[in-house]
Amino acid sequence: MKTRLNCPCGALITGVDEDHLVTQTQAHLRENHPDHDYTRDEILFIAY
């Protein structure tokens, strides 16, 4: 199960499970990178 993602801006995004990680990543993107929108699959592809 993937629960971490390093954003290129330097932020480490974590979740308790993959669903939470996707939610946290999408929130980070909305707040910090509104011009970027990634699907669940794209987020999990770059997560670890």
Question: Would you say 38 and 45 are in contact if contact means Cβ atoms under 8 Å apart?
Answer: no
For residues 32 and 35, give the distance between their C-alpha atoms in angstroms, rounded to a whole number: 9
Its pTM stands at: 0.93
Q: Which two three-digit tokens encode residue 14?
A: 């974590």
**Pair of tokens at residue 21:** 């990680």
* Residue 3 neighbours by CB under 8 Å, 6+ apart: 14, 15, 16, 17, 18, 20, 21, 47
Q: What is the span of the domain harbouring residue 30?
A: 4-46
What pLDDT is recorded for position 15? Answer: 98
The whole-number pLDDT of residue 12 equals 98
Query: What's residue 20's pLDDT?
Result: 98
How many folded domains does the chain comprise? 1
| Each residue's pLDDT tens digit, 4-43 | 999 999 999 999 999 999 999 999 999 999 999 999 999 9
Quickly tell me which residue has 């707040």 as its tokens.
31
